[in-house]
Structure 1
C-alpha cells in the first residue's frame, strides 16, 4: 500500500470545489490506462524535481542567514543531507513507509526494487498500477530530504559535521519513514481519519521536532544570550541569498503540494492540481503581508527575515490541506501561520532556544497550526483526530531524536569547541571559506 492508494479517496474530486462544468466532464472522452500512466508518472517526475530544487532553496536560505564564516559549511551540509536521504530512502526508507504497513505502525525492511526495464508497476493486487514505481519512489524520496533540511538550519554554526550526518542517517532511514507510514503508508493514523495532504506534520513538524530536540541538547551559540537575559543579534551574511532561497522554496512548493494530488490522468485531477497551486500561492502571499504588517506595528520597522519566514510559514500552514479551502480560507490559514512565527521567534529567544534560521517556528509551529486547522475547510476529519496525530508525531520524534542526540553527545560529541566556533566552521571543519577575500576569521563576527 503506498501514498497514492492511501490518499486517493481524499484527493480525487474533493468536495466538488472548483469543479469542471458538468457538460465538459460528460463530453470528455475516457482516457486510456496508458495515457493515465504517462500523465501520472509525469506529475510525479515534475513534482519530484521541483521538490528536489527546494534543496537549493534551503541551501541558499541558510547560507544567507548564517554568518559569513559558516556559509560553506551550510552549503556542504545541504548537498550531503540530500545525498544521504536518497541512499537511505532506497536502502530502508521506502519499504518502511509503504510496504506491509496494513494499518499498523511500521512497514518492512529492505532495499526498494524499481521497475524492470520496459516493465510496468503493479499494485498490491498484482494489477497494473497507474504510474511508474520509480517515479513514485523519487517523489517520496525528495520529501524525505526536505525533512532533514529543516534540522540543518536550526543547528547551524555550532554543530560538528559528522554527528549531524549520523543523525541525518537515522532521521531519513528510520524516523521519517516510520512516522510517514502511520498516515501515507495506510497505517494506524490513516485508519483513524487523520488528514495531512502534503506534509505539514509528516514532513515539516517531524523535521521541526527533530530540530527542537537538537537545539535543546546542543545549546545556543556562544554570545547569543547574556547572563542578564539579553539577546544579542547575530545578523546573517546575505539577505539577497536568503531571499533567493525563499523564492526557490516557494517555487518548489508547487511541486510539493500540487503533485501530492498524485494523479493527473483526468480533468478532475488537473483541475484539482490547479486549485492547489492557487491556494498554495495565496497562503504564502498572505504570510508575507501579515509578517510585514506585524513587524511594522511591533518594531516600527519591517523585518525582511520575518517577511521571508512569513512566506514559508504560509506555505507550511497550507500544506496539510491545500485543495479544499476557498481562496479566503487559504489567506487566513497562511496569514495566521505567519503571525505565529512573528510572535514565536522572540518567545524562543526568551527561552534561550537558539534557532539560527527560524525553522522551529516556521516548520514545527506553523506545521502544527496547518494540521490542526484542516477541519476548517475539510469536514472529513475532526479537530480531535488532528490533535491525536499531532501529539503522536511529537512524542515519537522527540523521544527517538532525544535518544539519538544524547548517544552522539556522550560518545563522539556534537558541538565544536569554543575556539572552532569563534573561528567559524568553514575554516575549522572543512577548510574552505565561502568569502576568503573578506579577511581572516578573527576579523569577522
Structure 2
C-alpha cells in the first residue's frame, strides 16, 4: 500500500480510537445525571475502573481471545500479552493490516471491550456492592465479551454461518457483539439485584426516582453521539472516503430519527415532552444503526431510527411492567435496540433477505444464550459468596459515603429521597 494512504488510514483509526475513548465520559455523565446525587462518586469510580481495568484485561488476554487466529470457531487463544508481529528486519510488520498498525488495532478494539461493562454499570446503579461489580467486570470483560466477539470479528462460526443465500452473520460495529452483550449482562444483573427501595409502591406500580442533573444527561448523550463517529466510522477499518462518509450519514440520520420518534411516541402515550425519552431515543437510534451502518441507504437509516425510538418508549414501559429497575434505560437502549438493529440487517439494505434475517436471528440467539448463562453464573456465584446488594442503610444514605467516604458536591446539600 502507498505510504501516504497507509498513514492516512492509520491516523483516522487513531482519531476514532480517541472518539470511542471519549464516549466513556458520555456514559459517565449520562449515568450520574439520571441517578441521585448521593451515588455520584460511586458511579464515576465504576466508570473509571471499567476503562482502566478493561484495557489491562484486553492487553493480558482479551485481544488474543477475541482474535485467536486459526481456531475451532467457538473458542481459541493466541497467548498472553501483545507479541507484536515483526518482519525479517526485526521491526514492526506494517503489512499486518492494509489500513492500520498492530498497535492501533489493539487500542481501537480495546476501547470497544470496556463499553460492554459500562452498559451494565448504569443499569445496576445505586444498589450494587462495588466489590461485586468489580469482580463481575473482570470476568465479563475478560472472558464473555471477547469470546462472543471472536465468533464474528475473530473469524469464528458466526462469520461463516450460512443458510440459503446468506453467507454469514453480519454485525458491522456491534449492535449485538457490543451493545447486546452488555445489555444481556445488565438484564440478568437487575433481575438478581432487585429494584431500588421506593421504585415500586405497595400497589406494584413504578414510581419515578428523578435523576439529579438533567443538563449532565444531555451533555452525556451529545458526547456519546459524537463518539459514535468513531465507533461506527472507525469500524470501516480505513479512511475510505466513500464508505466512511456514508456510515457517518446513516449513523447521524438514525440518531436524529430515533430522538424525534421517541419524544413524539412518549408525548402521544404520556402527554408530556419527556427529555429523557428524547435523549434515550437518540441512543436507541445509534444502537439500532450500528449493525448495518455501512449497508443502509439514508432512507433506510431514518426508518431504522424511527422504529428504534418507538421501541425505546415501549421497551422502558416493558421493563417497568416486569418490575425490573433500570435507572438509565440501558436494557431498552442497548439490548432491545441492539436486537432490533441486528435483525434490521436482514430487512433493509444491501444484505436484506429472509435467509439473512434467519442468520441474524441465529446470531442474536447465540449471543443471548451465552451471555445470559455465563452472566447469570457469574452474578449468582457472587451473590451467594459475597452478596450483590448493599444494605438498606447504605442504599438510603448513599453509596458515596459508605463505599468511598466522600461526596461529589461536598459544599452542596440537597433534599433527596
**TM-score bracket, shorter-length normalisation:** over 0.9
- Alpha-carbon separation, structure 1, partners of 2:202 and 2:94: 61
- Alpha-carbon separation, structure 1, partners of 2:159 and 2:202: 47
> 1:250-291, CA deviations, whole angstroms, 9 ceiling, x for partnerless residues?
000010001100022xxxx21110110011000000011101
Q: Tell me what 2:364 maps to.
A: 390
Task: Describe how 1:248-259 pairs up with structure 2 within 5 A.
Answer: 248-259=223-234
Range moving further from structure 2, 417-426 or 43-52: 43-52
Q: Determine if the alignment matches structure 1 residue 220 to structure 2 residue 203.
A: no
Deviation at 1:49, TM superposition (A): 0.6
Structure 1's consecutive aligned runs of 4 or more residues displaced over 3 angstroms after TM superposition are: 114-118
> What are the ranges of 5 or more consecutive residues in structure 1 without an aligned counterpart?
1-31
- Alpha-carbon separation, structure 2, partners of 1:394 and 1:329: 26
Deviation at 1:34, TM superposition (A): 2.0
Q: Tell me what 1:319 maps to.
A: 290
CA pair 66-140 structure 1, distance change in 2 beyond 3 A: same
Q: Tell me what 2:164 maps to.
A: none
Deviation at 1:324, TM superposition (A): 1.9
| Structure 2 contact 295–351 (Cα < 8 Å) conserved | no
| Structure 1 contact 426–433 (Cα < 8 Å) conserved | yes
Q: Determine if the alignment matches structure 1 residue 239 to structure 2 residue 218.
A: no
Q: Tell me what 1:173 maps to.
A: 142
Q: Determine if the alignment matches structure 1 residue 337 to structure 2 residue 312.
A: no
Q: Determine if the alignment matches structure 1 residue 416 to structure 2 residue 390.
A: yes
- Alpha-carbon separation, structure 1, partners of 2:273 and 2:72: 48
| Structure 2 contact 35–126 (Cα < 8 Å) conserved | yes
TM-score, normalising length: structure 2 = 0.94
| Structure 2 contact 124–190 (Cα < 8 Å) conserved | yes
- Alpha-carbon separation, structure 2, partners of 1:121 and 1:99: 19
Q: Tell me what 2:165 maps to.
A: none
Deviation at 1:325, TM superposition (A): 1.2
> 1:188-226, CA deviations, whole angstroms, 9 ceiling, x for partnerless residues?
000110000000000000000001001111111011112
Range moving further from structure 2, 86-95 or 34-43: 34-43
Which one of the candidate residues 153, 156, 160 is aligned to 1:184? Answer: 153
Deviation at 1:101, TM superposition (A): 4.5
| Structure 2 contact 84–92 (Cα < 8 Å) conserved | no
Range moving further from structure 2, 431-440 or 86-95: 431-440
- Alpha-carbon separation, structure 1, partners of 2:35 and 2:85: 42
- Alpha-carbon separation, structure 1, partners of 2:242 and 2:392: 55
> What are the ranges of 5 or more consecutive residues in structure 2 without an aligned counterpart?
162-167
Task: Describe how 1:51-130 pairs up with structure 2 within 5 A.
Answer: 51-102=20-71, 104-108=73-77, 109-114=79-84, 119-123=92-96, 129-130=98-99
> 1:53-101, CA deviations, whole angstroms, 9 ceiling, x for partnerless residues?
0000000000100111111111111111111110000011000000235
TM-score, normalising length: structure 1 = 0.88
Q: Tell me what 2:329 maps to.
A: 358
Q: How many residues align?
A: 404
- Alpha-carbon separation, structure 1, partners of 2:201 and 2:287: 32
